[in-house]
Amino acid sequence: MNFELSKEQQMIKHMVHEFAEEVIRPRAIDIDRLAKFPDDIFKQMGELGLLGIPFPEEYGGSGGDTLSYAIAVEEIGRVCGSTGLSYAAAVSLGASPIHYFGTEDQKKQFLKPLAEGASLGSFGLTESNAGSDAGGTVTTAVLQDDFYVINGEKCFITNASYAETLIITAVTVKNENGKNTISAFIVPANTEGVKITSNYNKMGMRGSDTAEIVLNNVSVPKENLLGEKDKGFKQFLYTLDGGRISIGALGVGIAQAALEKSLQYAKGRKQFGKSISSFQAVQFKLADMAMEVELARNMVHKAAWLKDQGKPFSKEAAFAKLFATETAFRSANQAVQIHGGYGYMREYEVERYLRDAKLLEIGEGTSEIQRLVIARELGC
């Protein structure tokens, strides 16, 4: 694998970096404080083509690759975890399943506006009793004439309140062993019977919309079945593998931000007559942070590269997601420590990094699930 970015990837990195610094950073503290989704920023991101980076031009995308997209997630996450999370969810979960499994008509009707940034998508998988055990899904979809009628509830769904297109997983039948067989459906958010509420008061990622979806006799045409019938479980496993790359990239962004803030503060903070960056105890913290950020970035880039090459990447995606998100939490925690009492204050931002990073160890498969995935890939 070539670790040198192409000219196109370098251009994307530069463009997103400038946008993040000029547009997102000045509002990052308020996005967290007010817990308000920055829909105007997402409109600008759509105009820049960021929401369509990994999708073909014929479907409204930019024709980029997974690595370019991961670079963009990192740059956005470096200045605002909330915006980075909603961006990653919009692309990896809201739009990518249609790109992976959709028919030509579905791609033209549903993927194109998502890739063009004209609207957002959301992925409804998690339920109150079906988180890590997604096979425990109880939402049902019953075929009646030419329509599927869907009933159930989804929780902790990112971007749902602002989405026009929902992808919903539901049980369509039980197999011969009595286990749920799951399919996926494209559900326009304005369909009768869809109710979306966002009443969560979250610890971190406060500016990223998190909602509950209630589906009460929601009727969609049978043509809205996404992919093969009863293949939804395998489909969302593949979707989550790709999503883990983006969450890993988001972890790298937060970890990088924690390192930059800590280094800047340590050089300027004087104690005992000299900068605290000259103290070995602080130097070792900074050295460990820098090393882990670089390792995490390389893991994310390798997983993205493997996906772009059409090679197996499940294990590497789990490596990247696990290590990068735990690196984000460790780095943010050390950043608070280096800042001392100031690190506990909101205006210094590092406490936000710590709160935001914690979710990354939970969403898109917990750290424990990543270790199970890796063990399974090892043949255990």
Catalytic annotation, residues: 364
Strand partners, 309: none
On whether the CB atoms of residues 233 and 157 are closer than 8 A, the answer is no
Cβ-Cβ contacts under 8 Å for 6 (sequence gap 6 or more):
none
CA distance 176 to 268: 67
Q: What is the DSSP-derived secondary structure letter of residue 154?
A: E
The residue to which tokens 């890939």 are assigned: 377
Query: CA separation (Å) from 70 to 194, 213, 293?
Result: 32, 28, 15
CA distance 46 to 148: 32
Q: Which of 220, 214, 203, 208 is nearest to 154 (CA)?
A: 214
- In one-letter notation, the amino acid at residue 256 is Q
CA distance 245 to 250: 9
Number of neighbours of residue 17 by Cβ within 10 angstroms: 17
Using CA of residue 274, residue 280, residue 284, residue 287, what is the dihedral sign?
positive
Q: Which two tokens stand for residue 109?
A: 């009707």
Q: Which of 321, 305, 313, 320 is nearest to 1 (CA)?
A: 305
